[in-house]
Structure 1
Amino acid sequence: MIALQNVCKSFQDGDVKHAVIKDLSLSFPQQSSISITGASGSGKSTLLHLLAALDTPDSGSIIVDDLKITELSTKQADEYRKHYLGFVFQRFNLIDCLSVWDNLCFSARLTKRFDEDYIDSLVQRLGIEDLKHKLPQTLSGGEQQRVAIARALAHKPKLILADEPTGNLDDKNSENVVQLLFELCETLQTTLILVTHSQPIASSAKLHYCLRDGQLHPQSRDTG
């Protein structure tokens, strides 16, 4: 179970304080797919960063699989992300000095979950087999996006956080990526929390929420 209990998060902009998460209490079932939509600036990425322990709430607590991540030390948070999470960032965050293949293998080797056949299947599925020996800075935005997705999945994480994973992809690659994320959610029995502006993608998840006025509002899977 992933539980948020009275979570608040705000940002200071000069003399103005903007609250993006307002006393949010909600539980997500594990081994499920959850999509989150909402207007730009509504706090969707902030929420993912809180779930990844990359940021801390002003108040409240977040519990992931009986682990209260809001009370972790810096070292413990690093271990949580390394062993538990796969994060697909909007800005990719690939390691520039490593080849695509080494980027993919890096986290898997750190967690001692290196499965070359599995990683190679991700490479084939995402159509990046011809990019394996290239450096990230030589790739297009769409290519970097697909590499970043493969890297996030390479160590078979228990929780996948995906921040606009199709934002830099064409329609064909977007459909392929979304199918892969939902399939792995089932086959790896992992939890997927996906932020997207696409209503069709959002409606494909088992649970769909809209982040509005600091709260997550359940949405119809048919209409969003």
Structure 2
Amino acid sequence: MNTERKSLAERARVHAALGDAARLAIVDALVVGDAAPGELGALLEMPTNLVAHHLKVLQEAGLVVRGRSEGDHRRTYVRLVPETLAMVASPSLSEVQRVVFVCTQNSARSQLAAAIWSRRSHVPAVSAGTRPAERVHPRAVKVARRRGLEPEAWRTAQVSDVVKPDDLVIAVCDIAYEHLPADARPRVHWSVPDPAPADTDAAFEAAYDEIAGRIDRLAPLVSQNKLKQSKGTRS
């Protein structure tokens, strides 16, 4: 009985946090990607003190967490907690012709993301880097093979040579997200820690799991909208 009451109390706290229109707008903005508090304020036309207040309530309810940027260490990014996403209505992602995953060196996270996406969705996916390395990281290749992916054809590429105007660009790297110009700014940002500095299988496995979990939540939304578009064309 005590366990049931605790569960009800936790659920009630989440529902109470979402009962405010401003907080619900923040959650909607974070469903598909992470954002800095200042970005949320600009997007929602909300003063910084109000954003800080609402984020505090959401964080206390366990709906969001903060992480320090690996690029500009003064910045923090806010992300939703996966376990609560089922309570959040998903925004639509229409007219997505292709997904491009971007990180700095295009040697690990973006390569894994494009490969995982290709197994989850019929929408095409590729990867690129802002400062591509000469080769894919050996540990990324190792993890990919262990997870049943086929990395033999992976090659690094420059983002400017890959991205097209209609692409859904997803930055899986803080540094790439912060350094891309405004006209090429990714529509979605995932603050996935870089496994390269640790250079362990565990770090690369953790990056794989983080990316796969996010793709599992996003891919059905994109695929679903593609399906709706095709049905509309036939009718």
Q: TM-score, normalised by structure 2?
A: 0.29
The higher-RCO structure (CA 8 Å, 6+ apart) is 1
Which one has a larger percent helix, Structure 1 or Structure 2?
2
